[in-house]
Amino acid sequence: MATGFDSQRRLPSQEKLFLDYVQRLHDHKEGRRLLHIHMSGLRPYNRRDHHLRIAANGFEQVIKSLQGQLFTLASSDLILVFRREAQSEVETSVVKLRFLFGDDPLLIPESDGVDRFCTWYDADAQYTDILDLARSLVADEKAREAQVEAEQEAKAALRVKQEFGEPITPRTLARLEEALSRADLSNMVRRQYASAIVGSAAPQPVFSELFISIGDLREAMTPGIDLAANRWLFQHLTSVLDRRVLSLLRKDDYFTLSGDISFNLNVVTLLSPEFLAFDDSVTASRRGTMMVELQRIDIFRDLGAFMFAREFIKERGYRLCLDGLTRDTLGFIDREGLGFDLVKLIWSPDMATEDEREIDHLRDLVARVGGDRVVMSRCDTRQSIDFGQAIGVGIFQGRHVENLIAEEHRKQDLLQRKRRRG
Amino acid sequence: MEDTVPTTHNPTLGIAGEEPPLVDHLRRIRNNRQGCIAIHIHLSRLRPYHREAAHVRIAVRAFENLSNNYDANLYVAANCDLVLMCRDVRVNDIDVVIRKLRNLFAEDPLIFGEDGGRGERFASWYDLEIDYGLFQSMLDDLIEDGLRITEDKDAASSEVVLGKPIDARALAAVVDRLQHTRIADLISHQAAVEVGGDGGRLLFREHYVSIADLKKRVAPGVHIMSDFWLFLYLTEILDRRILAVLGRRDFAAPGRPISLNLNISTVLSADFDAFAMRVGPNGDKVVVELQQVDVFADLRLFREARDRLRRRGFAVLIDGLHPLALQYFDPLPLDVDYIKINWSGNLLSSEFKGRLRQVRDSLAEIRDTVVLARIDDEDAIKVGMEIGVTRFQGRFIDRLVSAMTAGGRA
């Protein structure tokens, strides 16, 4: 999977290990040699997984006899550090490799006589060169990783952009509302899990949010219209959707959903007859498993109305979540004072920073709200979760979290099948 | 004929509330009043914004448990007061419900203004074994009140007065009309002043379009304020029209600054650039008022707009702040020139006692930027001064300013 999030990536990279090793080598460099095999220079058809495996296996004996250590770099280059005593054995292996890749242009000798497949170093004489090599490898790897992340973020941004179109107008909104009154929205309801993620362990679902996918809605009813182009018309649209969500939720299939659920509503909706009817249809015990998400913009619309609605729905037993916080607004909010059980912090790529002071600041803000009370939402990349964890967030939601959950399910399936077979 | 019950004049006939069944209920128990209690809950004494249909519905809901499990009935009067009639119900169980109601309306001066007494102003208790007569006469008053309200309501149902609630389709039509209607003559203004030891000084004059006038001209029969978000969309269209009109002013002429309300999206638009060009180097003559809901919708856009305004020399004001809001966030980092707080004109200082210190504390750091708006009488200024505010705006200030102008001082 392209967005594959494997636990290995959280381990120190081979480049980093190599650098550590080289630094420790400083006092033991006598009699050591180093071989850098430029696998990355081979043609793509020559560096598939099995080629790399065969190449690495060629040095198995040296490694097993504790005469050498092999590093497999992300670029697929190999680096072998070995004792002088193993020189001939290593050379034999290299000959085999040259034979194996004999058809590759990389191995065709050039007039200058430079070997572009292998570079040899003597640790004693060329220690500084080796150290430079190790450092540049670490730097390259960092840059490469940053680029992968940037690409992931760019892809995520592109997905958002593709959803743009003609800006919504009162007329298109009226058309949409009319269509909505006749449409069956049940197939547009999406469910996304907010999950606790600790370190690189598998996500543990805390609750799931039910929502109507605006993208699907647009696709089906107003293709080519950017529904979010005008903030006020969009807010109005959400209040129209609220009523539809409530009537959908009253259907049995949603009541039998397992686990705690959450859904977005406007403050005005909480005071409407539709919500009272919904409330009547929910058993008291079920209310405790339901959380109402309110938008930040909506509670500031009329704080008095919010306070009244809050008292009402808390008294009925529902829980409350404040949605739509950003890095900028997290510090403004007194979660406890406003009476929210949870708050949602929207991830955006520009939140990521390496500035330690900024990270400390964010960590403080999260701690003040309560790390287990903050859900980082719209986590579409691995980076978002890494950063969230770094600032003390405990719960995550978004496409990447969904991927992780799916991956975990596949893993469990596989294990089960294995067990059955075994 | 003689032995049938005579049809008496029914005083509750035609009333909009549940007074008739309440009267029946009282009649039924007249001869067996043991264990009967009535509680009259004065929702009609709450602020108007706390006794809309939604609030009453939710307040009624609080009694469900009680009426499902006990001999207890709730009646909603025409003036939206509630009357609970019950027999053999533990006072504590009723008290729990009344407390819930108090929590719901905790932000109403009726509740937080109570002096820790028995809270008679919100709920009155009647032991019907003893207070039957008293309750009866209270009920008579309630009915009289209800009949009057019913009559008024018939004459002035909200749809007749305000028009049909707006929807997207109606909005589209209103927008079309607004774009092709003259609005220059609808612009009114109101002064904001600073009060100091040496008297008053005019800060700026807010220029605005009265919504009632606007409605008459472009949206007759439509309740344009009934949907908050659709109304805000309308203000975006209005912004452009107002900018075009005010852009024709001579900003180089001497005089105090004007203020105008704009959406952040407008400040970031090309129309605004055109306006700013006309203002030119006289940016200090313009204060731009941004709505707090707009500010909090996207702080980054707000900052962009604020910085843009500052570069032009304009002052930035955040409008529409709820006095409560200060308890939950600190506006200092927003870094603006003025913060306008809407005073509920009828918050008398006696009701406010307990909160005065709290508000004064929350104002401590931003006091120099605060403009207290909706000052309708002298009392409001007094309360304002007590919490250390020196800048005011409102109908009362308007009267002061015109008196000053008449005296040749402004």
B303-320 per-position pLDDT tens digit: 999 999 999 999 999 998
Cα–Cα distance list, B157 to B52, B57, B161, B220 (Å): 14, 19, 6, 16
On whether both B109 and B201 belong to a single domain, the answer is: no
Q: Does a structural domain hold residue B338?
A: yes
Look at A318-322, B185-189, B396-400 and tell me which has the smallest mean pLDDT.
Answer: B396-400
Q: Does a structural domain hold residue B237?
A: yes
The residue range of the domain holding B36 is: 19-156
Q: Does a structural domain hold residue B5?
A: no
Give contacts of A242 with chain B, Cβ < 8 Å.
none
Q: Does a structural domain hold residue B12?
A: no
pLDDT of B31 over the 60 cut? yes
pLDDT of residue B234: 96
Q: Does a structural domain hold residue B227?
A: yes
On whether both B147 and B169 belong to a single domain, the answer is: no
On whether both B354 and B231 belong to a single domain, the answer is: yes
On whether both B221 and B131 belong to a single domain, the answer is: no
Higher pLDDT, A193 or A45: A193
Collect all residues with Cβ–Cβ distance below 8 Å to B241 and sequence separation of at least 6: B178, B179, B183
Find, among B303, B308, B296, B298, the residue nearest to B272 by Cα: B308
pLDDT of residue B8: 43
pLDDT of B3 over the 60 cut? no
Find, among A66, A127, A59, A64, the residue nearest to A94 by Cα: A59
On whether both B106 and B80 belong to a single domain, the answer is: yes
Q: Answer for the pair A420, A412: CB distance below 8 angstroms, yes or no.
A: no
Q: What is the pLDDT of residues A231-265, one digit of tens each?
A: 999 999 999 999 988 988 887 666 566 789 999 99
Q: Which of B156, B182, B204 is the last residue of a domain?
A: B156
A235 touches chain B (CB under 8 A): yes
Structure tokens at A97: 């490799």
Average pLDDT in the A185-203 region?
Answer: 89
Q: What is the pLDDT of residues A274-322, one digit of tens each?
A: 999 999 888 888 899 999 999 988 998 888 889 999 999 999 999 999 9
Mean pLDDT score of chain A, rounded to an integer? 87
A166-167 and A225-226 as β-strands: parallel, antiparallel, unpaired?
parallel
Q: Closest approach of chain B CAs to the CA of A269, in angstroms? A: 10
- H or E segment to which residue A231 belongs: helix A231-249
Helix (H, G, I), strand (E, B) or coil at B389: coil
On whether both B224 and B116 belong to a single domain, the answer is: no
pLDDT of residue A9: 40
pLDDT of residue A161: 59
pLDDT of residue B119: 59
Q: Which of B156, B179, B196 is the last residue of a domain?
A: B156
Write the CATH number for B287: 3.20.20.450
Q: Answer for the pair A73, A138: CB distance below 8 angstroms, yes or no.
A: no
pLDDT of residue B244: 93
pLDDT of residue B14: 66
pLDDT of residue B173: 95
Average pLDDT in the A339-349 region?
Answer: 94
Instruction: Check CB contact under 8 Å for A271 and B55.
Output: yes
CB pairs under 8 A between A and B: 113
Mutate: best of A300, A335, A346, A348, partner B, most B CBs <10 A: A300
On whether both B347 and B248 belong to a single domain, the answer is: yes
Pick from A229-233, B4-8, B197-201, B338-342 the range whose average pLDDT is largest: A229-233
Q: Closest approach of chain B CAs to the CA of A173, in angstroms? A: 6
Q: Which of B156, B191, B215 is the last residue of a domain?
A: B156
Cα-Cα-Cα-Cα dihedral sign, residues B399, B404, B407, B410: negative
On whether both B55 and B96 belong to a single domain, the answer is: yes
Cα–Cα distance list, B240 to A235, B223, B263 (Å): 21, 22, 10
On whether both B148 and B245 belong to a single domain, the answer is: no
The CA distance from A176 to A241, in Å, is 11
Average pLDDT in the B333-362 region?
Answer: 70
Give contacts of B167 with chain A, Cβ < 8 Å.
174, 177
Interface of B with A in 320-359 (CB under 8 A): 322, 324-325, 327-330, 333
The CA distance from A169 to B172, in Å, is 8
The number of distinct structural domains making up chain B is: 2
Find, among A129, A183, A155, A189, the residue nearest to A400 by Cα: A155
pLDDT of residue B185: 92
Q: Which domains does chain A have, with CATH numbers?
A: 7-144 (3.30.70), 165-421 (3.20.20.450)
Complex-level ipTM beyond the 0.90 threshold: no
CB atoms closer than 10 angstroms to residue B258: 17
On whether both B137 and B254 belong to a single domain, the answer is: no
On whether both B258 and B402 belong to a single domain, the answer is: yes
The residue type found at B149 is I
The CA distance from A16 to A22, in Å, is 10
Q: What is the pLDDT of residues B252-296, one digit of tens each?
A: 888 889 999 999 999 999 999 999 999 999 999 999 999 999 998
Q: What is the pTM of this model?
A: 0.73
Q: Does a structural domain hold residue B11?
A: no
On whether both B178 and B265 belong to a single domain, the answer is: yes
pLDDT of A11 over the 80 cut? no
Q: What is the pLDDT of residues B200-235, one digit of tens each?
A: 889 999 999 988 889 999 999 999 999 999 999 999
pLDDT of residue B118: 54
Q: Does a structural domain hold residue B133?
A: yes
pLDDT of residue B13: 60
